[in-house]
Amino acid sequence: MGLDLTWQESNELWAEAVQQSPTITSTDGLDTIQALPPRIGSGYGRITELQPEMELNIFSGTFHDLTLRMPENEHPLQFTVYLSGTVEGLNSPSMNKDLGLISGSGMQRPWSAFFSSAQPIVAVNVQVQPYVLAQLFGAPIQELPSELQALAPLKSDWQTLFSPKTTGAMRAVAHQLIYCPFKGISKRLYLQSKVYELMALQVEAITQPEVALQTAPLKQDTIARIYYAAEILRARLEYPPSQTDLAQQVGLGTRTLQKGFKAVFGLTPFAYLTQQRMQLAEQLLRQPNCTVAEVSNIVGYANPARFAAAFKRHFGITPSECLQGKKIF
């Protein structure tokens, strides 16, 4: 019967292993090598700190049949490639020689991983804090390129997981990371360049339409804040807050606000605002003694011509036609 461990129990076994078999430091001082706890399996893990908040982890070994259960936790950004072996996941993608994993930062949901003794695992993992990624583009995290924004949400948001296909180029870079031919400063520079190359290959892979994407559902607290934001917009149709101000009022980041509106209402905040304005405008125009100019002002359009254009795009008829009783189809 296989082991069933919580993350805390696993950490305790690793701590015991360090006491029984102390970690080894490479001759150039860059790598820390630790043997796998005997109760978990055989093999080693190698950790190389390439720069502050960027770490290369290499694992080679065989686990006993094992279930590892992880609690909800704050997670860094990770890029992972498996050269051999398989890890089956529950609430997390499986990993093998054909499918890697990019784990966005943020909050990781509780998950379980199932390790088998049938095949040894050789894996390369890069762990990096999102601000390091942002530094590469000379921009704050919230201004990352759109292709990368899902990788670095607010710490309080659920992470996003991608399962890019592992290509021959990725395997080659992973081999080069494991069997680095250099020492000292040359080794650090070489490993840094190869880590960036691996990250580039995996980021390129997740832009392909067939890549599996797992986005965790919004937290209940986030959903409540989205509904509060919608309430604010409905109450301030004439003078709505900017998206940045709205996000601050409800305690969310602007990207989380956008993602939340899409998830809850199927619309961006701006599209939701427009929808609410048009619905109120249509109701007002059906009432007697209203003018197009008055309704335009009430729903926040200083320019009646712009209001008329938006109304026609939304309903297919003009405000004047609506005022005259024409039906909307």
28-84 pLDDT, tens digit per residue, is 889 999 999 999 999 999 999 999 899 999 999 999 888 898 888 888 899 999 999
Q: What is the 3-state secondary structure (H, E, C) of 59-81?
A: EEEEECCEEEEECCEEECEEEEE
Which CATH number, 3.30.420.40, 3.40.50.10420, 2.60.120.280, 3.40.50.720, labels domain 3-215? 2.60.120.280
Bridge-based pairing state of the strands 54-63 and 121-128: antiparallel
Q: Are 80 and 101 in contact (CB under 8 A)?
A: yes
pTM: 0.65
Share of the chain above pLDDT 90, in %: 37
- pLDDT value of position 136: 80
How far apart (Å, rounded) are the C-alpha atoms in residues 256 and 154?
Answer: 8
Q: Is 220-323 in the same CATH topology as 3-215?
A: no
Per-residue pLDDT of 220-278, as tens digits, reads 788 888 889 999 999 999 899 998 899 999 998 888 888 888 877 778 888 889 988 99
**Edge-to-edge strands, sheet with 212-215:** 24-25, 31-35, 41-51, 54-63, 121-128, 77-84, 101-103, 160-163, 212-215
Residue 212: pLDDT band by 50, 70, 90 thresholds? very low
Instruction: Taking residues 113-133, report their average pLDDT.
Output: 89
Domain boundaries, the chain: 3-215, 220-323
Q: Are 43 and 88 in contact (CB under 8 A)?
A: no
Residue 123 structure tokens? 């894996």
- Tell me the fold of 220-323: Arc Repressor Mutant, subunit A (1.10.10)
- DSSP class of residue 297 equals H
Per-residue pLDDT of 160-173, as tens digits, reads 888 889 999 999 99
Residue 274 structure tokens? 């427009």
Q: Are 281 and 321 in contact (CB under 8 A)?
A: no
Query: Is the model's pLDDT at 296 over the cut of 60?
Result: yes
Instruction: Taking residues 173-202, report their average pLDDT.
Output: 93
